[in-house]
């Protein structure tokens, strides 16, 4: 199985990658921002994409701040996939319960429903991630078995 993990948080990224490597026979590519995720999705074919929702525009480095934060970057990548007829299955893995600000703020449950309705061909669901708990692992495996 070939998996793309789009995640900017180093701790979360390493935990997810380690778990996937221990549980599945999978090759994992990493993207750390919206732009690197979009490039990977456009250039390679994957069996599954594990997608963070909120991410920087560009990879963060000692010389690059990452640009503007994209609280709905994952949703935008799903739109890009739909527009380009990329039918790879996607699971969102997020640490947040709320997204956006002020009038645009929505809960994870609302976002999950929106993504299911808008991207039913690709979207397998959201997995809440908390570094202090292990239940995300079982939830993620259940979603991956639907691929």
SS3 59: coil
Q: Under a CB-based contact definition with an 8 Å cutoff, are residues 13 and 19 in contact?
A: no
pLDDT of 78 > 80? The answer is: yes
What per-residue confidence (pLDDT) applies to 59? 77
pLDDT tens track for 40-61: 999 999 999 999 999 988 777 7
pLDDT for the residue 72: 86
62 contacts 96 by C-beta, under 8 angstroms: no
- Angle formed by the axes of helices 73-83 and 108-118, to 10°? 0
The pLDDT mean for the chain works out to 91
| Residues 105, 111: Cα–Cα separation, whole Å | 10
- Selection from 109, 108, 5 nearest residue 55 by Cα: 5
Q: Write out the H or E segment, with its range, that includes residue 97.
A: none
pLDDT digits (tens, 9 = 90+) for 22-31: 999 899 999 9
pLDDT at site 145:
86
Q: Where are the domains of the chain?
A: 2-144
Q: b vs e for 111-130, b when ≥16 Cβ sit within 10 Å of the residue's Cβ?
A: bbeebeeebeebbbebbbbe
Residue 69 has pLDDT above 80, yes or no: no
Reported CATH class of domain 2-144: alpha beta
């Amino acid at each position: 199985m070939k998996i793309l993990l789009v995640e900017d948080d180093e701790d979360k990224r390493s935990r997810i990658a380690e778990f996937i490597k221990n549980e599945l026979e999978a090759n994992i590519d990493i993207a750390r921002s919206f732009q690197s995720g979009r490039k990977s999705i456009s250039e390679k074919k994957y069996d599954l994409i594990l997608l963070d929702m909120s991410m920087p525009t560009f990879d963060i480095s000692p010389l690059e701040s990452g640009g503007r934060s994209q609280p709905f970057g994952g949703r935008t990548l799903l739109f890009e996939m739909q527009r380009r007829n990329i039918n790879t299955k996607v699971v969102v893995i997020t640490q947040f319960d709320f997204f956006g600000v002020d009038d645009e703020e929505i809960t994870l449950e609302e976002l999950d429903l929106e993504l299911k309705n808008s991207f039913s061909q690709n979207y397998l669901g959201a997995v809440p991630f908390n570094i202090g708990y292990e239940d995300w692992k079982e939830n993620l495996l259940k979603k991956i078995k639907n691929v």
